[in-house]
Structure 1
Amino acid sequence: MVNKQNLYQWLQETSFREVTLSVDLLVTGYIFYIYLSRMYYASAEELASTVWLSGVLLEIIIYSVVLMVLSYIVLAFVSDDELNQPMDVREKQINLVGYKYSAIILQTGVILAMVQYGIEKQAEIILFEPIPHLPLHILLVAFLTAELAHYGVQLYKGRTGDIYG
């Protein structure tokens, strides 16, 4: 009963955008966990199989869509029509700062994937045994990390108010 009261009090004290960002961060973190656990427990044959990899990617996409849709439906019922209200200037600035960090991570991931692809095409092994489809994994990890950074930076900047620092 105390936990329920604490949750209700936290929801009352927290802005709706912050709750939405927190839910998005948790959902993205869970999807990232699913992906990493599938890769960690995969055998060498599974990692080399395009059928298995396609199944994992399809599973990640389905989880992403279902969890995001469910979270927005729940948030729509909880909110007082706050989903339809436009962001104010401060929220827009915080959103742009989140996009900045997200773009840096995603661009770095794309460059790393391109370099790895070039290395694989030249059949050179630098530091480790080649992982099949490594450029694809680099891109997916970069995308998920960028999403986590996007939501995390927005939550941090919104809480601290340190938008320009």
Structure 2
Amino acid sequence: MDNCSGDDFSVLFTPAGVLVRGFDHESEMSPYGTDDEQVWPGVIDEVPAALRPLLDDAAFVDEGLGAPRVTVCLWWETGGSAWRAGSDIFFPSGSPDPDGSGHLFRLLTDRSPEAVQAHFEEDYGRPVPLERWRVLDGGQALVEALPPRRPA
């Protein structure tokens, strides 16, 4: 997912497991907001060696920083029993979403018509009727209910 405004996330499936990485460029934990312009301490320090090369892929590295574009990271190793994330992350205080995970993953965690409506109204910058987001009884896919995107 790339919102074309500097935020993106990927869910990467490999034989070694699954890695979820997200980058919210305006989050308090963004390298752009720190003095050293590096990944926030603890976010990727514990990523298993078998999954770590995914973060170093050119598709996920900011060339200007020479570091992975990541403000939030979690993983599930093959054979594991739970999702994991860095255990030594000190989140900045004063923000309800310091790493951007709430913003980035809201449609992965809340598939309600209201959440989808809010997301697309923000992206389109105009009101969208809630009825557009309700899945119809005839089996119509949600994507088919989306309004066509107009060029800016």
Calculate the TM-score normalised by the size of structure 1.
0.21
Q: For the pair shown, which has the larger CA radius of gyration, 1 or 2? A: 1
Higher helix share: 1
Calculate the TM-score normalised by the size of structure 2.
0.22
Higher strand share: 2
